[in-house]
């Protein structure tokens, strides 16, 4: 399989909010040898249902097989592929940057350009929170290349289909 044939697919999966559901869904991926690029899970407006957002990569055949296999799981209520033109996908990043008083202004400027929030400041560190699509997050991290990143965490992608009126 050529790397160039790989595509990324983001699935929004509604599942029963029961013990072991995350293990059963992620276990399907590992048993079949599929790698999960990103996974987020949370309760929906209905406490008995959770939404899993799973990002996976592969060729078209593998991605189609993943959708079919996930649909067969008894815990799965609904599965929707989040298409770029008809959905909104975001992720959150928290990043702790080592900084001194001379670098702090530059870091504030970069954060403001990206509409990020400074959520913690100490003598030696600044912690910044940023929400956006993957490209925005990646661009922000790239701009911090000259700074010393002490810690970084990304939530992974989450998303919903847009509310189109028919």
The pLDDT tens digits for 56-106 are 998 999 999 999 999 999 999 999 999 999 999 999 999 999 999 889 999
H helical segments located in 34-73: 60-72
> Regarding beta strands 87-98 and 148-154, do their DSSP bridges make them parallel or antiparallel, or are they unpaired?
antiparallel
**Mean pLDDT over the full length of the chain:** 92
Q: Distance (Å, rounded) from C-alpha 71 to C-alpha 80?
A: 10
């Amino acid at each position: 399989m050529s790397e160039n044939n790989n595509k990324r697919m983001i699935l929004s999966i509604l599942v029963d909010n029961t013990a072991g559901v995350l293990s059963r869904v992620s276990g399907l991926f590992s048993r079949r040898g599929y790698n999960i690029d990103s996974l987020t899970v949370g309760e929906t407006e209905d406490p008995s249902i959770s939404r899993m957002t799973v990002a996976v990569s592969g060729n078209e055949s593998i991605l189609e097989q993943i959708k079919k296999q996930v649909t067969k799981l008894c815990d799965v209520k609904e599965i929707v592929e989040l298409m770029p033109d008809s959905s909104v996908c975001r992720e959150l990043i928290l990043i702790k940057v080592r900084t001194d008083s001379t670098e702090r202004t530059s870091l504030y400027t970069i954060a403001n350009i990206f509409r990020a929030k400074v959520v913690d400041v100490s003598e030696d560190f600044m912690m910044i929170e940023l929400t956006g699509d993957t490209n925005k997050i990646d661009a922000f991290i790239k701009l911090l290349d000259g700074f010393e990143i002490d810690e970084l965490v990304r939530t992974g992608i989450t998303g919903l289909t847009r509310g189109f009126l028919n």
